[in-house]
Structure 1
């Protein structure tokens, strides 16, 4: 149950962080304006809150593991939101990042 909750929190955090960064990008790079930028900043703040809800209390571990989720999630976001077409190296790299994330978060610990 703890692992399922943790994975769900990583997914929600990814939506907030990647979505927030995308909104800021759209606001600035695509000239959509301050409302998009403001919504992005709020989403990025929400990401920070969601990250604190992880059951593990180690900040460095949470952020390091989230890096793998961010890599894979960014590729998926680009596919859905921008029509990005990843090649096999993008996919392989994302899978490697997710494997690293799983080791960092859920690997056996000798405590």
Structure 2
């Protein structure tokens, strides 16, 4: 099943693209950060269309839980701020919901 790796690719592409804008506008980085950021956002959009889902809304809903977990990993790995227990608990709830959506036995 390629859903989880594809969602992870989409999540880190989206986070990376958005972080490029954050770095430019909030951290005073060069506007040259925007070109790779926009390419990363295009990769995000492409990756999300590769998920095997019957409806876009279902793909986006499942993606939400993966995105939340990925955001906390980004915060820890890139921004060097480990998540606290509330971050972890909230992400666990969201991930559980995403996994229900992804692996639900539909049409059986």
- TM range, normalised to the smaller chain? over 0.9
Q: 1:35 aligns with which of 32, 36, 40?
A: 32
Give the aligned partner of residue 68 of structure 2: 71
Two-structure CA RMSD over aligned residues (Å): 1.1
Q: Match of 2:78, SS?
A: helix
Q: How far off its partner does 1:56 sit?
A: 1.4
Counting only pairs closer than 5 Å after superposition, residues 36-51 of structure 1 correspond to structure 2 as: 36-51=33-48
The one-character-per-residue Cα deviations of 1:50-81 (angstroms, maximum 9, x if unpaired) are 10011113100011111101111001100001
- Could you tell me which runs of 5 or more consecutive residues in structure 2 were left unpaired when the two chains were aligned: none
Higher RCO (C-alpha under 8 Å, 6+ residues apart)? 2
Q: 1:53 aligns with which of 42, 50, 53?
A: 50
Divergent runs of 4+, >6 A? none
- TM-score, with structure 2 as normaliser: 0.93
Matched residue pairs, number?
Answer: 108
| Aligned equivalents of 2:89, 2:81: Cα separation in 1 | 16
| Aligned equivalents of 1:88, 1:23: Cα separation in 2 | 27
Q: How far off its partner does 1:38 sit?
A: 2.1
- TM-score, with structure 1 as normaliser: 0.91
- Could you tell me which runs of 5 or more consecutive residues in structure 1 were left unpaired when the two chains were aligned: none
Q: 1:91 aligns with which of 88, 93, 97?
A: 88
Give the aligned partner of residue 15 of structure 2: 18
